[in-house]
Amino acid sequence: MMKTLFKNFMKCGILGWCLEITFTALHSLQKRELRLMGQTSLWMFPIYGSACLLEPLFKKLKNTPFQIRGSVYALCIFAGEYLSGRFLDQRALCPWNYERSRWHIRKVVRLDYFPNWFLAGLLFERLLSPTDPHNKEAV
């Protein structure tokens, strides 16, 4: 059990880091920075890794339409982002600050990132709930 949890924590942490690096690198295109330098923080690994705690939810919602699943996951990610962001911000350690966005909540959540977290949640679900190769139904 603990070995699986640790393995899933590592998988989610790595996937999260890769997504963030890709997202920030692509965001640099808006600034016409063609080097496509992505960035992240060591603090982000345990935050992304904690997505492994959603695995029971993935199992519970497996027969639910993806629109509902993705929305539930995005709301859970918002909650995790808010809690971890406030914790880090109170210690002047938060690696992100969304105060320039008009859709921010206390500088640590951007409501306009809902589609990003919707998709990220479905990716974490796919990572932790691999489909059975003998089952012809797509998830």
> What one-letter code names the amino acid at 7?
K
Which pLDDT score is estimated for 133? 53
Residue 131 is which amino acid?
T
pTM for this prediction: 0.88
Structure tokens at 119: 């998709």
pLDDT on residue 132: 55
pLDDT at 138: 47
Exposed e or buried b per residue across 10-46, where buried means at least 16 C-beta atoms within 10 angstroms of its C-beta: ebbbebbbebbbeeeeeeeeeeeeeeeebebeeebbe
125: nearest Cα among 83, 78, 69: 69
**What is the Cα–Cα distance from 6 to 1, expressed in whole angstroms?**
9
One-letter amino acid identity for 26?
L
> Residue holding tokens 């199992």?
59
Ranges of the chain with pLDDT below 50: 135-139
